[in-house]
């Protein structure tokens, strides 16, 4: 007796009873043989009952479904999350390279400014203009004043002669003078020292061999004295660069003024000064400490940029995989 069975709409056979039993038939596979008025399921054909396997236990079905769910979750992870993780790690490595590049770039610009030395200095001098600090007040005296009736009264009379309230020969610097900047390399950053001119005092001339200098001459002499201390590191062309040192930056790093910076101001007239037998020039000393530090706002923007690129890259990879192999991805 010959048997036939259907796979979809395709008829297969004829097969003998032994041959059809060896086929992988399910209980709802439709079969037909001589004597049947219509196609029947395998479970309804007594001769084929022995070829059917026993029902699958519910526990085994549950375990199989659980494993299939795990495989599906793993496929989803590999399709969507794994490309994002890999892309993120790649861009994190790129970010670390960028950080080091920009840090080295700024340090290299500072090294070029210092010509590879540990210290560089420069200065500027402009014609000083000073204003005397002598204070003149009017002399006053009382006088007797009489009215038409002959009555007398005391009247405070202000005369137009003056006396000096501050007799010292002191002058306030209103403009000009000198400024000396020294940049030195420290263990964890850079120190920028600025020495600038302050006020001027002329001393009493007590020797016939001395003469009172001009204000410009006094400041010039003090300037030259201070320059002598920087002769090994002096570069007259570097003053503008040193003046704008704190503004050095690039796309990711800048110079930050640390809180331990120090300003020593001489005040009007104090012991912080350059002097000789005829004059005293007070000076102001300002020390600022700088460190190359990352610009947090720029760095955060760069992180966000790389995260977005990593997300777009991972989605492109996932989409490509789905387009190439859409049928097997979620089976």
Q: What is the pLDDT of residues 308-331, one digit of tens each?
A: 988 888 888 878 777 776 655 555
* Angstrom distances, CA of residue 215 to CA of 127, 128, 171, 175, 211: 9, 7, 9, 12, 13
Q: Which residue would you say has higher pLDDT here, 264 or 302?
A: 302
Q: Which residue would you say has higher pLDDT here, 28 or 227?
A: 227
Q: How many whole angstroms separate alpha carbon 30 and alpha carbon 44?
A: 9
Produce one character per residue of 244-281: b if its CB has 16 or more CB atoms within 10 Å, e if not.
Answer: ebeebeeebbbbeeeeeeeeeebeebeeebbbeebbbb
Query: Which contacts qualify for 14-23: CB closer than 8 Å, 24 or more apart?
Result: 17/47, 17/48, 20/48, 20/51, 21/48, 21/50, 21/51
* Dihedral over Cα of 211, 216, 222, 226: its sign: negative
Average pLDDT over residues 275-290: 88
pLDDT of residue 188: 84
User: Residue 157: which pLDDT band, with cuts at 50, 70 and 90?
Assistant: very low
- Token pair recorded at residue 243: 């003046």
Instruction: Please report where in the chains the tokens 């209103």 appear, as a residue.
Output: 174
Report the share of the chain in percent with pLDDT over 90.
Answer: 31
Length of the chain in residues, anyone?
331
Q: What is the DSSP letter of 248?
A: -
CB atoms within 10 A of CB 203: 15
pLDDT of residue 75: 75
Strand 119-132 to strand 170-186: parallel, antiparallel, or no bridges (unpaired)? antiparallel
Per residue in 108-124, pLDDT (tens digit) is: 999 999 988 999 999 99
Q: Which of 53-57, 182-186, 274-278, 294-298 has the lowest mean pLDDT?
A: 53-57
Number of H helices, E strands in the chain: 6, 13
**Annotated domain spans of the chain:** 3-51, 114-133+168-294, 134-167
Report the share of the chain in percent with pLDDT over 70.
Answer: 79
CB atoms within 10 A of CB 293: 14
Per residue in 70-119, pLDDT (tens digit) is: 777 777 777 778 888 888 888 889 999 999 999 999 999 999 999 889 99
């Amino acid at each position: 007796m010959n048997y036939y069975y259907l796979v979809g709409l395709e008829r297969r056979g004829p097969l003998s009873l032994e041959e059809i039993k060896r086929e992988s038939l399910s209980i709802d596979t439709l079969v037909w043989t001589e004597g049947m008025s219509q196609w029947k399921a395998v479970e309804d054909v007594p001769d084929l009952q022995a070829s059917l396997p026993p029902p699958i236990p519910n526990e085994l079905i549950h375990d199989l479904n659980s494993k299939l769910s795990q495989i599906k979750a793993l496929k989803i992870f590999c399709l969507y999350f794994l490309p994002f993780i890999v892309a993120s790690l790649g861009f994190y490595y790129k970010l670390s390279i960028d950080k080091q590049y920009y840090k080295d770039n700024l340090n290299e610009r500072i090294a070029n400014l210092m010509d590879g030395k540990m210290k560089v200095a420069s200065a500027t001098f402009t014609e000083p203009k000073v204003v005397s600090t002598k204070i003149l007040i009017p002399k006053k005296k009382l006088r007797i004043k009489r009215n038409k009736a002959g009555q007398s009264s005391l009247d405070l009379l202000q005369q137009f002669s003056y006396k000096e309230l501050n007799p010292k020969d002191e002058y306030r610097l209103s403009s000009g003078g000198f400024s000396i900047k020294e940049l030195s390399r420290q263990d964890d950053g850079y120190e920028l020292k600025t020495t600038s001119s302050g006020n001027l005092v002329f001393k009493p001339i007590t020797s016939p061999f001395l003469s009172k200098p001009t204000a410009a001459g006094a400041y010039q002499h003090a300037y030259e004295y201070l320059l002598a201390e920087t002769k090994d590191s002096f570069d007259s062309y570097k003053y503008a660069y040193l003046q704008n040192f704190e503004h050095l930056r690039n796309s990711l790093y800048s110079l930050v003024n640390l809180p331990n910076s120090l300003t020593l101001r001489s005040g009007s007239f104090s012991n912080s000064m350059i002097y000789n037998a005829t004059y005293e020039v007070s000076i102001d000393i300002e020390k600022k400490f700088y460190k190359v530090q990352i610009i947090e706002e720029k760095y955060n923007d760069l992180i966000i940029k790389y995260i977005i690129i990593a997300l777009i890259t991972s989605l492109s990879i996932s989409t490509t995989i789905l387009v190439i192999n859409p049928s097997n991805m979620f089976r």
